[in-house]
Amino acid sequence: MNYRHIYHAGNFADVLKHAVLARLIRYMQKKDGAFRVLDTHAGIGLYDLSSEEAQKTGEWLDGIGKLMEADLGPQVSELLEPYLTAIRELNPEGGIRFYPGSPKLARLLFRPQDRLSAMELHPDDFARLHRLFEGDHHARITELDGWLALGAHLPPKEKRGIVLVDPPFEEEDEYQRLAEGLEKAYRRFPGGTYCLWYPLKKGGPIKEFHERLQALDIPKMLCAELSVRSDRGITGLTGSGLVIVNPPFTLKDELHQLLPALKDHLAQDRFASHRAFWLRGETKTVKDDD
Catalytic residue among 136, 166, 231, 253: 166
Euclidean distance between CA atoms 286 and 153, whole angstroms: 33
Q: Quick check: is 32 catalytic?
A: no
Euclidean distance between CA atoms 93 and 3, whole angstroms: 30
Q: Please give the DSSP secondary-structure letter assigned to residue 5.
A: G
Positions at the binding site: 18, 41, 102, 120, 145-146, 166
Residue 204's closest CA among 234, 244, 166? 234
Euclidean distance between CA atoms 265 and 174, whole angstroms: 30
User: Checking DSSP bridges between strand 46-48 and strand 237-245, what pairing results, if any?
Assistant: unpaired
Euclidean distance between CA atoms 231 and 202, whole angstroms: 6
Positions at the binding site for S-adenosyl-L-methionine: 18, 41, 102, 120, 145-146, 166
For 85-105, the DSSP string reads: HHHHHH-TTSS--EEE-HHHH
Catalytic annotation, residues:
166
